[in-house]
Chains A and B, each alone.
Chain A
Amino acid sequence: MNSQPAGDRSERLDGLNARARAMGQAWKPRLAVVADWMTTVDHKKIAILYFLSGMTFLLIAGMEGQLIRVQLAQSELRILDPNLYNQLFTMHGTTMVFFAGMPLIIAYFNFVVPLQIGARDVAFPRLNMFSWWLAVFGGLFLYASVPLGSMPDGGWFAYTPLTNREYSPGRGMDFYVLALLLAGVGTIAGGVNFVVTILNLRAPGMTFMRLPLFTWMALVVSILILLAFPPFTVGLLFLLFDRNFGTHFFDAAAGADPLLWQHLFWVFGHPEVYILVLPAFGIASEVIPTFSRKGLFGYPVVVFSGVLIAFLGFGVWAHHMFAVGMGPLANSVFAGATMLIAVPTGIKIFNWIATMWGGKLRFTTPMLWAIGLVSMFIIGGLSGVMHASPPTDLQQTDTYFIVAHFHYVLIGGLVFGLFAGLYYWFPKATGKMLSDKLGKWHFWLTLAAFNITFFPMHFSGLLGMPRRTFTYPSELGLDGFNLVSTIGAGLFTVAFVPLIVNLWKTLRNGEPAGANPWGAPTLEWSTGSPPPHYNFAVVPRVQRRDPLWHPWIRPEEEEAGDHEDAGPGGVEPRLQPEVAPEPVVMPSNSWWPMVMSIGMLIATVGGLGSLETTLVGAAITLVGLFGWAFEPAFRDGAGHL
């Protein structure tokens, strides 16, 4: 039964090494490092891979946004060809949501969740790597359309019938459909992985009501992924068949209803908003208590409101369709449900403020980002209530007012949260402290740039600026607002400079972080920075929420009176021994996730019109699947995690 895959692997490595020797000794260690990263099953390394790929796509999509702003700087400009403009906004949205936003939140899941629940890895380490490969291959496949000059141009929402073959005859929308199908498989696999991880791998004593908020949100979001992605997958499948095999799912002439696509898309698309934003809320719920030196206010209420947001999120999709003519009853129902979501969202905001109330606030960089999130999200939430009302939405939908709204949600919410998390957990991941000074430059510049870019869009939208138009007539009188937005967008690029400098300087010679530089309460801070491969030398036993604040930090603080908090290099309780008392067996690296994903990528490429390629890809996929299934997870076959 045990065909010797471990042997295979070392043979392969040997082969690579032999080639490396031929190229020169210097390559040997580097190649081994590359091979290690390509086959890793360590959730912390996979997190870094997710982060890097997500950031790369974020920067690419950000540049696409910049080009859009350049074209719109003044009325009636012809800097970009309209076809190119349409491709750019399609790629900007698709990339940001699927290949920047999703991978980045999953990067944080990967790094933080196992550490927070006291586990040594996720439930299915190889599946984890498989998900990452598919996320990357999906993105690369989408961007393969760029050199071929056939980028998708039907919008990230891909409304039919515009995206049917008849009206979008190019290959562009096929790239879109296939890329999202491919990445979607990986995302669903990731959802399964994290649900099982969080349900099953919690350390003894880590009950649901002791779970850190971020992990809670990871659980909720993973369930959302599992329920929201399949309808979208089906929609994509329909579109694929309509475009390539002449079916009629969205063909009004055959008796179908083109609006079906909108329903399928938004049944997924609206929960997707919460998939992206709830993790950011989770990060805020970690950062704010830590830097208020005070436990989260109303923990069960915050948890429950997160669950409620997710649940309600499935009942509001048609508020994206108030203008399609669903009739007054349907519009009223969806309006009511949508407004209802404002209640749990408000609860979260009030609980964060109450957490800070009476605390001892330290305005570190992560704290600034978290506060920025709270403040900016209020704006996005309030404008959201405005178009939760269908009559006002009739004036706002498909205008820049909406563009302003969802950028306040997705930048003010998601991106601010991601940066809060980056500055917060970077010391844990690398063992080095990011510069607080540069971090604050990054924060204030971003805050200014973000508001200068997007706040004027509220006005331009209300005053008649439609979305998704490559230009606008000067008679609209909107040149001023647009120019401000464009200037802000330019500043946005500048705002990234301190971050890049900070990362570069810190990685070269940053201050060492120590296990718990922030004096934070959750389990990830009880182990080394960076954590050892096995995370915890001894599996922790959890007795209460915020375990590191009880009983170590609090009494000590009480005695000291005005206690000097454990800062960088400060003294903090080290809960984990330096060395594991007994050997820890961790799962071995594996090539099979990569083999299988390559097979699926090839099959996807075949989807562009070559059945043979698809069959070859399917065969490789099958080989990868069997290789994976018959390969023991542990080199010496020593049971499961």
Chain B
Amino acid sequence: MSELAPVTGIRNRKLAMWTFIGSECMLFATLISTYMVYRGRNLIGPYPHELLNVPFITVTTFVLLMSSLCMVLALAAMQQGNRRQARFRLFLTAALGLVFLVGQFYEFNHFHHEGLGLSRNLFSSTFYILTGTHGAHVLGGVIWLSTLFLRLGSGPIDAERIETVEIAGLYWHFVDAVWIILFTLIYLLA
């Protein structure tokens, strides 16, 4: 069967990712709105300003941003057909994502010891669900990137695979962009 060119010029998988990201925007928009609507309505402590460690999160935010950079570089290496560099950069992207997750785990753990359990108050509810949902997205991305890294060990580097990496990159950049918004709203404007 002769393959028909996609009408939009964007191939199905990539278009699907864009569409999915559009839907994800509504998901995060709802979560973020809830957080913002409930901000300052906490009745019992601990309160955000007592707990949030802005310098620490700035570091993990930087790590996540660097992972996005690595992702860009990995795609470039793919396009040049440089398997070793592409694999290394994908590995690095996933590893930096993992570092971010470890940071988030440390933060959650620390908050928990400070008395902010999930069910403690309104802040804990909104904070954990919002950042937790984002963390789950990062985790999904790390698993995806690791798979790409492993599978790139063999086989040709063809247009198909370059596109796969590009699509994973779209997702990864989206997840990072969401974090920038969360970082600003939760930490910087606290």
**Within 8 Å by CB, do A and B touch in the complex?**
yes
Q: Does A638 interact with chain B (Cβ within 8 Å)?
A: yes
CB distance from A566 to the nearest CB of B (A): 30
The interface size bin for chain A is 35 or more
Q: Does A241 interact with chain B (Cβ within 8 Å)?
A: yes
Cβ of A191: which chain B residues have Cβ within 8 Å of it? Answer: 19, 23
Residues of B within 8 A of A (CB): 1, 3-4, 6-8, 10-12, 15-16, 19-20, 22-24, 26-27, 29-31, 34, 37-38, 41-44, 118-119, 121-122, 124-126, 128-129, 133, 147, 151, 154-155
Contact A255 B23 (CB under 8 A): no
CB distance from B154 to the nearest CB of A (A): 7
What would 15 A/B residue contacts be, using CB atoms closer than 8 Å?
A1-B151, A124-B12, A191-B19, A192-B23, A201-B4, A226-B19, A231-B30, A233-B27, A237-B129, A245-B118, A254-B121, A255-B42, A256-B125, A585-B1, A640-B3
Q: Which of A192, A234, A247, A267 contacts B118 (CB 8 A)?
A: A247
For B128, the closest partner residue in chain A by CB is: A247
Which residues between 439 and 479 of chain A lie within 8 Å of chain B, taking CB atoms? none
For A267, the closest partner residue in chain B by CB is: B30
For A629, the closest partner residue in chain B by CB is: B147
Q: Does A195 interact with chain B (Cβ within 8 Å)?
A: yes
Given A124-B16, A192-B16, A230-B30, A246-B22 contact (CB < 8 Å): no
Given A234-B34, A254-B43, A200-B26 contact (CB < 8 Å): no
Contact A1 B119 (CB under 8 A): no
Q: Does A363 interact with chain B (Cβ within 8 Å)?
A: no
How many A-B pairs have beta carbons closer than 8 Å: the answer is 128
0 or 1 for each of A181-210: is its CB under 8 Å from B? (1 = yes): 000000010011101100111111010000
Complex: A182 Cα to B149 Cα, angstroms: 30
Complex: A583 Cα to B126 Cα, angstroms: 56
Contact A196 B15 (CB under 8 A): yes
CB distance from B43 to the nearest CB of A (A): 4
Complex: A413 Cα to B7 Cα, angstroms: 33
CB distance from B161 to the nearest CB of A (A): 10
CB distance from B14 to the nearest CB of A (A): 9
For A203, the closest partner residue in chain B by CB is: B4
Interface hub of B16, B24, B154 (most chain A Cβ within 10 A):
B16
Cβ of A202: which chain B residues have Cβ within 8 Å of it? Answer: 7
Cβ of A640: which chain B residues have Cβ within 8 Å of it? Answer: 3, 11-12
Q: Does A238 interact with chain B (Cβ within 8 Å)?
A: yes
Contact B122 A254 (CB under 8 A): yes
Complex: A206 Cα to B8 Cα, angstroms: 12
Contact B125 A247 (CB under 8 A): yes
Cβ of B151: which chain A residues have Cβ within 8 Å of it? Answer: 1
Cβ of B30: which chain A residues have Cβ within 8 Å of it? Answer: 230-231, 234-235, 264, 267
Q: Does A216 interact with chain B (Cβ within 8 Å)?
A: no
Complex: A235 Cα to B33 Cα, angstroms: 12
Q: Which of A193, A230, A254, A260 contacts B34 (CB 8 A)?
A: A260
With A192-B16, A226-B19, A249-B129 given, can you name 11 additional A-B contacts, CB distance below 8 Å? Answer: A1-B154, A192-B20, A201-B7, A202-B7, A226-B22, A228-B26, A241-B125, A242-B125, A245-B119, A629-B147, A641-B12
Q: Which of A231, A248, A583, A584 contacts B122 (CB 8 A)?
A: A248
Complex: A204 Cα to B4 Cα, angstroms: 9
Contact A249 B126 (CB under 8 A): yes
Given A1-B154, A255-B41, A195-B4 contact (CB < 8 Å): no
Residues of A within 8 A of B (CB): 1, 120, 123-124, 188, 191-193, 195-196, 199-204, 206, 226-231, 233-235, 237-238, 241-242, 245-249, 251, 254-257, 260, 264, 267, 539, 582-585, 626, 629, 638-641
Complex: A228 Cα to B31 Cα, angstroms: 14
Cβ of B43: which chain A residues have Cβ within 8 Å of it? Answer: 254-255
Contact A255 B118 (CB under 8 A): no
Complex: A419 Cα to B124 Cα, angstroms: 50
Complex: A251 Cα to B15 Cα, angstroms: 40
Complex: A248 Cα to B128 Cα, angstroms: 12
Contact B155 A249 (CB under 8 A): no
Contact B12 A230 (CB under 8 A): no
Contact A639 B19 (CB under 8 A): no
CB distance from A627 to the nearest CB of B (A): 13
CB distance from A240 to the nearest CB of B (A): 10
CB distance from B181 to the nearest CB of A (A): 16
Complex: A6 Cα to B135 Cα, angstroms: 36
Cβ of A255: which chain B residues have Cβ within 8 Å of it? Answer: 38, 41-43, 121-122
Complex: A393 Cα to B20 Cα, angstroms: 37
Complex: A199 Cα to B44 Cα, angstroms: 51
Contact B121 A199 (CB under 8 A): no
Contact B26 A256 (CB under 8 A): no
Cβ of A626: which chain B residues have Cβ within 8 Å of it? Answer: 147
Cβ of A582: which chain B residues have Cβ within 8 Å of it? Answer: 1
Cβ of A231: which chain B residues have Cβ within 8 Å of it? Answer: 26-27, 29-30
Q: Which of A193, A201, A230, A638 contacts B26 (CB 8 A)?
A: A230
Cβ of A241: which chain B residues have Cβ within 8 Å of it? Answer: 118, 125, 129
For A638, the closest partner residue in chain B by CB is: B1
Contact B19 A196 (CB under 8 A): yes
